[in-house]
């Protein structure tokens, strides 16, 4: 049988695509998330899912993302010259065969594939995670193959599981026969029942001969039971009341502690709420935010005014110096100027005594006046005096403007100076911190509850306390302080009395069945003897059943060995042809008959070695794949089928991968193979 093509609509991420396939090896290559797995599951769905009976959860998983439609899958199967056009419409829940609607095509698929869904997934599908599990667990190689070969090809029944179940049933039936056991099987149970009946018959025969003695004994035992019951009930009432009283006292204590805690918490909350209301009334959040915004501006204005005042002081000092210079200009000249001036005056007086020196004296006077005027320059002093006055005026105006601006800002807060501003802001900050702290404390105390809920709880506790006190007043207060020793003595005494009552009731029931109207008769003994015979026959029946089950176990074990032998023979044949190529001559044979383990012949040591302990992961993978091919050959009995490989070759090196592809090519002469992979090397090799 070959899958020729498949047309997929709305299956997960495949919206509308048609695939054509070759009869031998098909490599479905693509990167991760490219749709390989979707194609694989769409083919499995096409083969085995019935649109009318598919599980809702599975069908929902097939829907494409973001669409409310189900898949429609059309595919062509061909066997020899026969072609089968099949359509599975999961929207209409209909199946078509060659354009004709049919109930299902399950039988047709089974006939064409030669395998049902369970066996197809076990035999014809090889997944990567199967190989990984073999690597993780040394025994997984044998177990995975044995799980497959022990399944019936038509029913999917696991022979190993059936054998195990029957073996357990045999063991359960035999429990207690060979040695003492807590749980006993049916045979041991029947043996005990037979023994009890035999003893009972013997006892009843003796009882029948001493009938009158038993009547007296019954009367005594009933009186003894009555006395014990009275004592037991008195003790029971005493114990129950004492325990009830202690329980109520404990509950009352817990309630009082809870009430005390709640009252303390409520008092604290009330005090905190008063403080909170006080702070809340004084704290003005908007005012604080406004003051925070004005703070930098006020500080800058204050600093600027201080700087201007300092500058003003300096200018006023300078102006004073200039004023002094205008009033006493001679003091501002150098001593040298004074000395020169005096010298010139002296020369003028001396030249006046000599007539020929009159011109010289006049000249010296002119020089003196010019010299003096050169150094006493009133105009130059004015150049410094006027700018100083203008600077002082400008600074005074700037200071006045800034003080006006500062006063305007302070007036917004109804304040007259900066100290009041910072004092008020500090108070607001302190109130804010107190507000936050009080709010946090109140929230912490309340948790998720409210004050009303706390008060309701306190009211509920008060009602419970009243109810408990009412119950204690109804005859339980006398039992509140009972001595523990007395109470324990009553409890132990009642335990003994209870055992005595149980024993007496057993005795009374046994005696009552033998006295009065229900006294033992010959007929009773005959009935017991008849029951004994029935029990013996029942034991004989289960003994025969045990023998049959033992035969079944032996036959199943033989059948399993036959299957393993058949598979092993085909595996040896296939392995002899390929294992030597795969291992480059190091190993030559595979055997599955040695204690149901895989062993492989090592040419170096000329011995069979345990594959789970000595072989590499890659070689285990190859043995596993050879085994799968062998099992498929045996199950199909030469029929052609389809086989899927979901990238299971990750542990293969290039040389062994090449040999494996040759093996699959040889296998594909009679079977169609699909290899899903994200490794380009497989695509190139195939």
Residue ranges in the chain modelled with pLDDT below 70: 128-164, 207-214, 319, 321-338, 340-345, 347-388, 513-520, 555-577, 592-598, 611-618, 634, 637-638, 650-651, 686
Say what the pLDDT of residue 477 is.
Answer: 78
Structural contact between residues 77 and 4, judged by C-beta atoms closer than 8 angstroms:
yes
Q: Using a cut of 0.85, tell me whether the model's pTM lies above it.
A: no
Calpha distance 417→398 (Å, rounded): 19
Radius of gyration from C-alpha coordinates of the chain: 58
Placement of tokens 């107190």 in the chain: 434
Q: Where are the domains of the chain?
A: 1-114+639-686, 129-193+534-637, 212-281+452-496, 285-333+376-441
Tokens for 563?
């299957």
Say what the pLDDT of residue 132 is.
Answer: 45
Calpha distance 286→158 (Å, rounded): 82
Calpha distance 113→640 (Å, rounded): 8
468 contact partners, CB below 8 Å, separation of at least 6: 248, 251, 252, 255
Say what the pLDDT of residue 371 is.
Answer: 55
Say what the pLDDT of residue 331 is.
Answer: 42
Q: How is the beta sheet containing 597-602 ordered, strand by strand?
A: 587-594, 597-602, 607-610
Say what the pLDDT of residue 111 is.
Answer: 87
Say what the pLDDT of residue 171 is.
Answer: 80
Q: What is the pLDDT of residues 44-62, one digit of tens each?
A: 999 999 999 899 999 999 9
Superfamily of domain 1-114+639-686: P-loop containing nucleotide triphosphate hydrolases (3.40.50.300)
Cross-strand bridge partners of residue 5: 20, 76
């Amino acid at each position: 049988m070959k899958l020729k093509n498949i047309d997929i609509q709305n299956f997960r991420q495949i919206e509308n695509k048609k695939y054509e396939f070759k009869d031998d090896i098909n490599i479905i290559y693509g990167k991760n998330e490219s749709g390989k797995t979707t194609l694989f599951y769409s083919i499995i769905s096409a083969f085995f899912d019935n649109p009318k009976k598919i599980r809702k959860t599975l069908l929902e998983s097939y829907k494409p993302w973001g669409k409310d439609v189900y898949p429609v899958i059309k595919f062509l199967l061909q066997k020899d010259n026969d072609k089968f056009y099949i359509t599975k419409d999961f929207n209409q829940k209909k199946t078509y065969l060659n354009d004709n609607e049919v109930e299902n095509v399950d039988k047709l698929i089974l006939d064409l594939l030669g395998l049902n869904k369970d066996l197809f997934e076990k035999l014809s599908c090889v997944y990567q995670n199967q190989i990984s599990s073999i690597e993780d667990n040394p025994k997984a190689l044998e177990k995975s193959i044995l799980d497959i070969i022990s399944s019936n090809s038509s029913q999917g029944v696991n022979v190993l599981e059936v054998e195990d179940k029957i073996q357990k049933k045999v063991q359960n039936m035999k429990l207690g026969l060979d040695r003492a056991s807590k749980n006993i099987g049916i045979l041991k149970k029947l043996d005990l029942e037979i023994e009890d009946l035999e003893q009972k018959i013997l006892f009843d025969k003796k009882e029948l001969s001493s009938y009158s003695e038993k009547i007296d004994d019954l009367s005594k035992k009933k009186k003894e039971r009555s006395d014990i019951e009275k004592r037991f009930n008195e003790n029971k009432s005493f114990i129950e009341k004492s325990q009830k009283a202690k329980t109520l006292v404990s509950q009352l204590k817990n309630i009082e502690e809870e009430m005390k805690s709640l009252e303390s918490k409520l008092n604290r909350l009330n005090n905190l709420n008063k403080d909170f209301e006080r702070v809340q009334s004084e704290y003005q959040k908007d005012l604080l935010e406004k003051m925070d915004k004005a703070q930098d501006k006020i500080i800058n204005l204050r600093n600027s005014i201080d700087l201007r005042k300092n500058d003003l002081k300096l200018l006023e000092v300078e102006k004073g110096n200039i004023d002094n210079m205008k009033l006493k200009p001679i003091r501002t000249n150098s001593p040298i100027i004074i000395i020169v001036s005096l010298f010139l005056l002296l020369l003028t007086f001396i030249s006046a005594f000599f007539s020929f020196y009159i011109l010289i004296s006049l000249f010296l006077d002119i020089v003196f006046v010019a010299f003096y005027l050169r150094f006493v320059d009133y105009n130059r002093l004015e150049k410094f005096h006027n700018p100083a006055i203008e600077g002082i005026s400008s600074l005074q105006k700037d200071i006045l403007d800034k003080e006006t601006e500062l006063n305007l800002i302070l007036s917004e807060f109804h304040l007259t100076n900066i100290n009041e501003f910072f004092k008020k802001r500090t108070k607001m900050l302190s109130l804010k911190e107190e507000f936050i702290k009080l709010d946090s404390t109140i929230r912490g105390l309340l948790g998720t509850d409210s004050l009303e809920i706390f008060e309701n709880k306190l009211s509920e506790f008060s009602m419970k306390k009243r109810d408990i006190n009412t119950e204690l007043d109804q005859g339980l207060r006398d039992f509140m302080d009972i001595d523990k020793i007395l109470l324990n003595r009553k409890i132990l005494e009642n335990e003994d009395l209870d055992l005595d009552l149980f024993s007496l009731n057993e005795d009374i029931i046994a005696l009552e069945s033998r006295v009065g109207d229900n006294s033992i008769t010959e007929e009773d003994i005959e009935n017991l003897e008849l029951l004994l015979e029935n029990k013996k026959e029942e034991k004989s029946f289960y003994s025969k059943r045990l023998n049959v089950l033992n035969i079944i176990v032996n036959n199943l074990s033989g059948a399993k060995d036959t299957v393993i032998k058949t598979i092993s023979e085909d595996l040896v044949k296939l392995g002899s042809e390929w294992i030597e190529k795969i291992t480059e001559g190091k190993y030559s044979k595979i055997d599955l008959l040695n204690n149901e383990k895989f062993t492989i012949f090592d040419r170096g040591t000329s011995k069979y070695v345990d594959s789970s302990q000595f072989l590499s992961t890659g070689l285990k993978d190859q043995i596993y794949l050879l085994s799968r091919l062998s099992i498929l050959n045996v199950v199909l009995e030469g029929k052609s089928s389809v086989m899927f490989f979901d990238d299971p070759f990750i542990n293969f090196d290039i040389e062994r991968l090449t040999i494996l592809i040759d093996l699959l090519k040889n296998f594909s002469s009679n079977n169609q193979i699909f290899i899903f992979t994200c490794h380009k090397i497989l695509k190139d090799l195939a």
